[in-house]
Amino acid sequence: MLFSNEEQHKLQDLMSSNDDFAYFMTKSLDGYKSISSQICHELRNPLTLIKSTSQLIEANNPEVINIKYWEQLKDDIHELELLLEDFSTYNHSNAVNRQDQNILLLLKSILASFQAAASQKGVEVLLSIDNENIPCYTLYSFDRIKMKQVIINILKNALEATEKGDYIRIACKSEDPSNLLITISNNGSPIPEDVLPTIFTPFVTYKANGTGLGLAISSNIINAHGGSLTVKSEREETSFYINLPL
């Protein structure tokens, strides 16, 4: 179901305090996910046929690329594919497979693969770690694939907001024995103030080509790890805070 970040936390509190409510809510959520998955499947099949038909038409009749709106048609098909993919991912974003592993290695790996795109744009990417020898960094229980998805999504958004000469900074520290904090900041264009309260709500986006599910998916994944994803955006800097319990 499409709950906001705040509503999800309230729902979790209610489920923790009431076993009967938790049982029926879990059944409702499972039913919703099943129906949603089926709808995505039923929509994806005809969309695949439409795409393959358009490709066949273009292959046999190359002149169609000169027809008005042909490229727009292909763009619309691609956007629908992305939307269905994101919606399917959203439905499964709270199912995590946690294993003890090194979260610093994940951050460094993501940064290494992200560096080329940032350099091409003239954006500096920085990694700050307060103390690499802290045990919680090298042996933390998390879902590597989904945590990587969260960090890459936030980094991509940061890169879109920045220009040549700007920076993107990742900081990792353990503020207290029970908390691990990953902060991803940039000094590019700020997020509009009116969008901030609902930025983690599904289908809410401030980008022209966005589905509005990327940050909702990210928030769900962090919530499933028992943590929280928050944001602060001002004229000087925008920061996303990934708080994870130890």
The SS3 call for residue 144 is: helix
| CATH code, residues 99-245 | 3.30.565.10
The 10 Å CB-count burial string (b at 16+, else e) for 102-139 is ebbebbeebbeebeeebeeeebebeeeeeeeebeebee
Stretch 207-220: mean pLDDT: 81
| The pLDDT of residue 40 is above 80 | no
What is the distance of C-alpha 80 from the center of its chain? 18
User: Higher pLDDT residue, 38 or 143?
Assistant: 143
Whole-angstrom distance, CA of residue 212 vs CA of residue 91: 14
| The pLDDT of residue 2 is above 60 | no
Instruction: Tell me what pLDDT residue 4 has.
Output: 60
- Are 5-91 and 99-245 the same fold in CATH? no
- pTM metric for this prediction: 0.71
| The pLDDT of residue 45 is above 70 | yes
Whole-angstrom distance, CA of residue 80 vs CA of residue 94: 23
| The pLDDT of residue 126 is above 80 | yes
Instruction: Tell me what pLDDT residue 29 has.
Output: 62
Whole-angstrom distance, CA of residue 4 vs CA of residue 10: 10
Instruction: Tell me what pLDDT residue 167 has.
Output: 97
Q: Average pLDDT, whole number, for the chain?
A: 85
Q: Check: CATH 1.10.3470 for 5-91? A: no
| Phi, psi torsion values for 234, nearest 5 degrees | -130, 180
Domain chopping of the chain, boundaries? 5-91, 99-245
- Greatest mean pLDDT among 25-34, 67-76, 206-215 lies in 67-76
